[in-house]
A and B are shown apart, each in its own frame.
Chain A
C-alpha cells in the first residue's frame, strides 16, 4: 500500500471511531442528557426559575406548558408568539420521548401515556429517585422546593443529574 493511502485509512478510522465514541457518550443511549442549547430558551426560561433541560419531560408536557404560559404555575409568563414558537420547537426536538439517553427514557417510561405532567417532581421517576429525601429537606431555605434541582444537582441546567455529584446543602 502506498504510504499516502495508509495515511488516509488511518485518518478515516480515527475519525469514524471518535464519531462513534462521541455519539455513544452524548446521544446514543448515554446516561446523561446531551448538553443542548438555544439562546431564547436560555434567556426566557431562566429569569424566574432554574433552566430545565428539555429531556426532563415528554413532548406532550412541553406542548401543554408552552400553550398555557399566561397561567404558568400561577404566574403570567407570556411570550411573544415568535419567541414562544421557537422555544417550543427546541423543547419538542429535545424532549424526553425524542432523546435516547437513559435518564430521559426512564422519565418518559414512568409517565402514563394519557398523562402530560407539568411538574417533573410529580413523575414516578422523580418520586422513586427521591424517596429518601424528606419533605423537610426540600423546604430548607437553601433549597426552596423540589423544583429547584440545581440546589443539589450542580450540573442540572446542563442535564447532568449524576448521583455521584449530588451535594445536598445544609
Chain B
C-alpha cells in the first residue's frame, strides 16, 4: 500500500516536472543551438528586458510587449480593440505555454507587430523563461 502511494506520488511529480512550458523551452533550446553555436541557455532577466523594452515602430509609435500585456505580466492586459488578455505569467495563468501551436501562432503575430520581424529562438526562450519565473 505504502509503495503504491509512493509510486503514485512519484508519477504525479514526474508529470508536474514534464509540464509543457519546460517542454517548449527544450524545443526552443534545440532551435537556439542551431541558430547560434554560442548559445548558452535562456535568461529570465534578458526575457524581462525584452518584455519591457519599447521599440520605435515604423508607424511612429513606441511599442513593447508591455503595451498590451501591461508592465506586470501577472495582470490582465487589453488589446487595442478593448478585449481582455489573460495574464502572461504562469503564476497568474497556468494555461500559458501549454500549447505549442498557440505559442508559435502568437509569437508569429506579435513579434511582427512589435519588432517588425520574426523572433529568434533565443528571444522566445528568454521570454518564456521570464514569464514562468515570476513569483
Contacts and interface: CB of A to CB of B under 8 A. Distances in A.
Interface stretch (A47-55, A57-65, A110-118): A47-55
Most buried by B among A76, A78, A147: A76
Nearest to B109: A76
A148 B82 contact: yes
Contacts of A143: 82
B82 A75 contact: no
Contacts of B109: 75-78
B101 to A, nearest CB: 9
Interface string B95-117: 00000000000001110110000
Main DSSP-derived SS at the A contact region: loop
B83 A50 contact: yes
Contacts of A78: 108-109
B80 interface: yes
Interface residues of A, number: 18
Nearest to A143: B82
B15 interface: no
Contacts of B80: 48, 74-75
A101 B80 CA distance: 31
Most buried by B among A75, A147, A148: A75
Interface in B80-135: 80-83, 108-110, 112-113
Interface in A4-60: 46-50
Contacts of A68: none
Interface string B51-91: 00000000100000000000000000001111100000000
Interface of B: 59, 79-83, 108-110, 112-113
Given A48-B79, A48-B80, 13 more contacts: A47-B79, A48-B83, A49-B82, A49-B83, A50-B81, A73-B81, A74-B80, A75-B109, A76-B108, A76-B109, A76-B112, A144-B81, A144-B82
